[in-house]
Structure 1
């Protein structure tokens, strides 16, 4: 009887061993499936980025424009009747395929001829000749958040696999994660480091546009203009500095075009804003206006 019992025990052990050899039935089969799912879930991630997109619902016209041949301040701009607020726009010349990023303002004076008034800087970039009308397309731009795929995540090691420490290179020193600082130290470091924000891209004004509205809320920077030539932007900023006001030039890009914004300020109060605006107007930039950043 003892021999027969031992035989039954051996037979049962063999059956269990064979069952364990089947794919997916082993003790680590479930762990491998979970690992594959986790890797697939983390391989595709997205992030939000800001980009300029065309907004024809805000403003869009396709009409003839005219540069009268006179030099103008404020960089690249066009003026059109009935515009309520300044807009950043893309201006195209379909005849030669040239385009430029600039500003759109309301045209006050209704002169005979084309409705679109074009600045000297805009005309030079678009290839327009003085006194010769050209067909132009003007479309408003808006900043929007767009989803962009991030690089795929690093593959996750299959938990069912065994890895020999002899075949792996030691982890680099930069991979070591330092312990978190105490809450008091972290708060002090955050207070010591000022927060920085990316610059937005508002538009600028022509000489015969409507007067800029009074600055309100956080609008403490005075925009002098948008320029397609860096040297012109630098010259305008230096002119403002010589008048005793702080000025800076910001290089930005939109729709594949690089341009330079000139900003004066910031002004800390309403009285400072009025004084800054008066000083800039004396330099000839009568239609500069306040922006938030």
Structure 2
């Protein structure tokens, strides 16, 4: 082999090693970090992620006393009513006697009738294992959503192969591989003397840089949010522990021209389905929507954020 060919081969080998060093994917298997790609992908996917979870808020509402289901079927899904409730709330009801619980809507009980102050809906009674006309001790606590950031998983240590299990293999001829790489490089590299691409003409300098920045400063500010935006534009029809019951309620709304949404949820391992309608664009539309829904029999419907 001539000295010229030897020099070409040496240059090609050096260039190939330099390019491979810049990209871990081009390195031989024994030079790669076995977990580098997977670890970086998992870290990127989890950084900044935020999840919502239910937390109990006894400072908002909490009672422990006798509750009663009067045996009559009721609309609105899973709910409970109490005279001390101020605003509709999402709560968790527990039956200490059997350990059962249910996520429900809480309403203010307007009518004063003899018996326990906690009035339980038929679907809530089924979830809690209550018998008709048989009072039972119940605990009712308000729920609130809490956003919690998710910490990225800890980085795993690099996995190294067992030296005793490393086997030897015959490498390809490096001289032949280098000559082939050199030929490809020469074909893709412009020859000496090739006219370089012309550089784009430089823009003339602006005499007054302040004047040049004036159009940006004069940009119109974003339009403010409309004053009629509602903080609670949706109407919640009910919370249901059975998906079929939620779908039935949604279908009855469709029958009067209202398009509902069935939203699944989970709290402390208990699945539930919320049926909501909206959003309304202003107070008049919201009042009309509420009136129409209550006229269908869902008298406990109320406005919610989403």
Question: What TM bracket, shorter-length normalisation?
Answer: 0.5 to 0.7
How far apart in 2 are the matches of 1:48 and 1:266? 25
Structure 1 position 124, deviation (Å): 0.8
Q: Which residue of 2 aligns with 1:291?
A: 304
Q: Which residue of 2 aligns with 1:270?
A: 283
Are the structure 2 counterparts of residues 130 and 267 from structure 1 closer, same or farther at C-alpha, using a change threshold of 3 Å? same
How far apart in 2 are the matches of 1:65 and 1:216? 39
2:95 is the alignment partner of 1:98: no
How far apart in 1 are the matches of 2:284 and 2:261? 21
5 Å-filtered alignment, 1:46-125, equals 48-125=50-127
How far apart in 2 are the matches of 1:267 and 1:146? 30
How far apart in 1 are the matches of 2:289 and 2:256? 10
How far apart in 2 are the matches of 1:109 and 1:132? 20
Structure 1 position 111, deviation (Å): 1.2
Structure 1 position 48, deviation (Å): 3.9
How far apart in 2 are the matches of 1:71 and 1:247? 23
Q: Which residue of 2 aligns with 1:126?
A: 128
Q: Which residue of 2 aligns with 1:225?
A: 238
- Could you list the per-position Cα deviations for residues 177-226 of structure 1 after superposition, in whole angstroms to 9, with x for gaps in the alignment? xxxxxxxxxxxxxxxxxxxxxxxxxxxxxxxxxxxxxx982322110000
Structure 1 position 270, deviation (Å): 2.3
> Structure 2 unaligned runs (5+)?
1-39, 160-170, 172-227
Q: Which residue of 2 aligns with 1:238?
A: 251
How far apart in 2 are the matches of 1:143 and 1:277? 25
How far apart in 2 are the matches of 1:108 and 1:79? 9
Contact 1:68 1:130 (8 Å CA) reproduced: yes
Contact 2:65 2:118 (8 Å CA) reproduced: yes
How far apart in 2 are the matches of 1:106 and 1:271? 24
Q: Which residue of 2 aligns with 1:144?
A: 146
Are the structure 2 counterparts of residues 120 and 148 from structure 1 closer, same or farther at C-alpha, using a change threshold of 3 Å? same
Structure 1 position 271, deviation (Å): 2.5
Contact 2:78 2:122 (8 Å CA) reproduced: yes
Contact 1:45 1:152 (8 Å CA) reproduced: no
5 Å-filtered alignment, 1:24-39, equals none
- Could you list the per-position Cα deviations for residues 113-160 of structure 1 after superposition, in whole angstroms to 9, with x for gaps in the alignment? 111000001001111111110111111111112344322246689xxx
SS of match in other structure, 1:149: coil
- Could you list the per-position Cα deviations for residues 226-248 of structure 1 after superposition, in whole angstroms to 9, with x for gaps in the alignment? 00000100000000001111111
TM-score normalised by structure 2 residue count: 0.60
Are the structure 2 counterparts of residues 279 and 52 from structure 1 closer, same or farther at C-alpha, using a change threshold of 3 Å? same
Q: Which has the higher helix share?
A: 2
Please identify runs of 4+ aligned residues in structure 1 that moved more than 3 A.
Answer: 44-48, 153-157
Structure 1 position 49, deviation (Å): 2.4
